[in-house]
Structure 1
Amino acid sequence: MEVRRSDEDAVSVEAAAETLRMLSGVMGSVPDGEWTPSLVKAVEALGDDAPGCARMRRYLGEHAGEDDFVQALAVDWTLAFRGVSPAHGPRPPYAGAWLGDDGTGVGVMLAVNSCYVAEGLGTSGSKPNRLDYLGVELEFMAHLLSKAAAGGEGAREAEASLSSFIDRYVLSWLPRYRAQVEERCKTEFWKGFLELTESAVREVRAALSGDDGRASDA
């Protein structure tokens, strides 16, 4: 059956998709002198009510004027999102690294990629990250949300695919990863950022469960 959405519902779903794209972009770009000001503006625009945002704003308020501010953010970004120092930092945010039996999870990575291919999003190998990288997964979730927001015959299928993807390949490991970031990373900024990320994913999943009553059958 075709899923019908009011204009207000569609705007709300697309806004959630844009939030996921923003989170994906932040996660995929190492902070530098040119990029960090836009990051600060993005955090300020979110306000303090969203989970994790007060922590991020507090960190920015306390450290943004320091000479090594950008470097400190970049070092902790590398520790949190690149997994270059397993002895000191968290396991990297690859679904396969958390769900695979061998610590690498190539099979999981291929399974994640099969979800992309099923949506016509085959990869060319040009992306700088693994296919099961959290930032890439968020980008895929945003794609499915936009498809659901458009309504029509493909909306329900997009919602079902997104629900399954979140359950199998995101929330099945994201809380454990975030716990390691809380324990091993230094800056409150990235801890707050991942608190916001997990909250955003959970909100999308709750909406897909029908808690907000968005979708209605024709």
Structure 2
Amino acid sequence: MLLVDNQRDDLLALEAVLSTLNQTLVRASSGDEALEALNNDGFALVLLATQMPGMDGYETAARIKRNSRTREIPIIFVSAPYEMDPHGTFRGYAAGAVDHVPRPYDPWVLRAKATVFIDLHQTNVQLRKQAELLRTGDTTGLLAQLSSLLSDAETQARDLTAQLQAQASSTKAKAAAARLEHAVRDLRQMLEHALELREEPGAPPAPASLHSPRRRDL
């Protein structure tokens, strides 16, 4: 996870809460440092302060989302309550954030939200590895495993959407849920494309359970 804040004490507080998740935590004290870190490593989640000197959190988030290498990384804004008035909230979602955590935050809530995105990221990584294996080698039984992993991702996506809807207005939740739904559908399309390749002449048929009946809308 990437933790971005110009206030050292706030970074230390985030690190103390999230250290129990056994994830690698990287600090950045500015938007520029955050963008540099993102270019050098892969992250499951960015926790980003909204107010920073120079490049603020909104601009940093917008740049993350404009970069094809980083645009799929979820962003949670961390801010003072007064920074998340209707205008600030709209700016946050427009910049690409999926959620926000107000200070002072509840450590249990922060860890729960971070865990959802970490689990989803790990599932996505596994799915992409399996899809690559489908393109490059003998994959007996791999389609079933890939479909199972995707089903887990769809479940996690629904759980996350429910959390967003419970903690924000319907308009805010829809903005975040739409991005999440798009990502999961992309993964489902990868699987269905693999199935089409599998069913070309001469290829053994894929199990019927892998086809569209498993597909469920979020």
Is TM-score (shorter-chain normalized) higher than 0.5? no
So what's the TM-score if we normalise by structure 1?
A: 0.41
- Of the two structures, which has the highest relative contact order with CA contacts closer than 8 Å and spacing of 6 or more? 1
Which structure would you say has the larger Rg? 2
Which structure has more strand as a fraction of its residues?
A: 2
